[in-house]
Amino acid sequence: MTTSTFTVSGMTCGHCVSSVREEVSEIPGVTTVEVDLPTGLLTVTAATPVDSEAVSRAVKEAGYAVTASS
């Protein structure tokens, strides 16, 4: 299992969190998605390393932007 963290900008409510969680969860191999609204922190756990571009695309599909990753 690998864990990656990202910072997402533009989220303002629980619906935003749900949208990001839903889109990122659809990435193949992702097992857990945690989103912290106050900090914008997105934590993704997967069976293999997650492609950061795939996460960025999923977050964009939800209507937000990844501003940092680690």
Residues 6+ apart with CB under 8 A from 61: 23
pLDDT confidence of residue 63: 97
The pLDDT of residue 69 is 81
Q: Which distant-in-sequence residues (6+ apart) come within 8 Å of 33 by Cβ?
A: 20, 21, 24, 25, 42, 43, 44, 45
**How many separate domains does the chain show?**
1
Instruction: For residue 60, give the CATH number of its domain.
Output: 3.30.70.100
**What is the span of the domain harbouring residue 19?**
2-69
pLDDT of residue 34: 98
| pTM greater than 0.75 (yes/no) | yes
Structure confidence at residue 56 (pLDDT): 97
Helix H or strand E encompassing 61: helix 52-62
Q: Give residue 58's pLDDT.
A: 98
Per-residue pLDDT of 4-58, as tens digits, reads: 999 999 999 999 999 999 999 999 999 999 999 999 999 999 999 999 999 999 9
